[in-house]
Amino acid sequence: MNKVPESLDMDALRSFVAGIDAGSFALAAQHLCRSTSAVSAQLKKLEQQCGTALVMKKGRHLQLTGSGEQLMSYARRLLSLNDETLRAVKGEALQGEIRIGMQEDFGEALMPAILGAFNRQHPDVMLTARVDRNLPLLTALARHELDLALLWQAEQQAGTHLIGQCPLVWIQHQAFDLAGYLQRGEPLPLVAFDAPCVMRSRATEALDKAGIPWRVVFTSHSLSGIWAALQAGLGITLRTRAGLPETLMIESHRLPLPGYLGIALARSDQGDDPARALLQHLITKAALPFIQR
């Protein structure tokens, strides 16, 4: 008689994915409404079933082992199929329309995979998306032209859910001569969005406090324009790691620390729509790797 294959525990897989997404199994336990010891026990069970370590500590953060990375790719698909199956069998197909806006940094870094997966799993929900800057998105929400918007939050705003704080970083091309500008005392060339822009304001305020002269040498309406100017070596900018091109680098030693900026999910109303609630949950989970931990 053939041996029956062992089945992976779906609850343990869910805890495994939640722990990696949150960067901490303690945070995952809070999200899953379980104790930290219970979630740790589920991870240990998974490692026993797989016969190998799945996670290792690197400083204060969690890091997947090679086997953990392999399992993660399967785990997400298994959980997605499990949830889709249950909804279909129970007759819980989601319907309706969701109009979502996103700040440019998240357009490439977070949203394509989320919206694509959501659209495939819930084809009866009509999705429309808009990429823009903060002020136009907030205006569209106020006019009820959008249902949800993922954006930067400089301060507490009514109707928004703060997901977490994201570190601001100085970004430049490796060929940009930052040391030379600082040594010569020349105004530091800045690349930035057109004003008003919260990151532009944070950059100039930080440099002013440090007594470092500056001048804006390039402005753009789009994030792609910012990245292109940096790759051309025109200057330095202040943003987050979200959507950071591999061709650019973070400067972390010679310029003042600029602090943090909130990632927020805003809604035009607080109605109890299950499709919006699910999409809001998925977006919140996807944003967790970018926040301070």
pLDDT in tens, 221-268: 888 899 999 999 999 999 988 888 889 999 878 999 888 888 888 888
Residue of higher predicted confidence among 169 and 222? 169
Fold match between domain 96-166+262-290 and domain 169-258 = yes
What are the boundaries of each domain within the chain?
A: 10-90, 96-166+262-290, 169-258
Task: Give 156's pLDDT tier (boundaries 50, 70, 90).
Answer: low
In 133-222, alpha helices (H): 134-142, 178-184, 198-209
The count of residues in the chain is 293
Q: Quick one: pLDDT band at residue 212, thresholds 50, 70, 90?
A: very high
pLDDT at 192: 93
Q: What is the pTM of this model?
A: 0.65
- C-alpha 153/C-alpha 168 separation (Å) is 13
pLDDT at 217: 95
Task: Taking residues 147-172, report their average pLDDT.
Answer: 80
Question: Residue 26: which of 40, 45, 14 has the closest Cα?
Answer: 40
More confident residue, 270 or 281: 281
For the segment 275-283, the average pLDDT, to the nearest whole number, is 81
The candidate with the shortest Cα–Cα distance to 212, out of 245, 190, 241, is: 190
> Is residue 166 predicted with pLDDT exceeding 90?
no
Mean pLDDT across 66-84: 82
**Amino acid identity for residue 262 in this structure:** G
User: What is the pLDDT, as a whole number, of residue 293?
Assistant: 47
pLDDT tens profile 84-93: 677 666 645 6
Q: What is the mean pLDDT of residues 79-104?
A: 75
Average pLDDT over residues 32-51: 83
Q: What are phi and psi of 103, to 5 degrees?
A: -65, 150
Predicted confidence at residue 158, as pLDDT, reads 58
Pick the CATH number of 169-258 from 3.40.190.10, 3.40.390.10, 3.30.1130.10, 2.60.120.260: 3.40.190.10
> Has domain 10-90 been given CATH number 1.20.1050.10?
no
Which class would CATH give 96-166+262-290? Answer: alpha beta
Q: What percent of the chain has pLDDT over 70?
A: 90
pLDDT digits (tens, 9 = 90+) for 117-141: 787 777 888 888 888 888 888 889 8
Q: How high is the pLDDT of residue 93?
A: 61
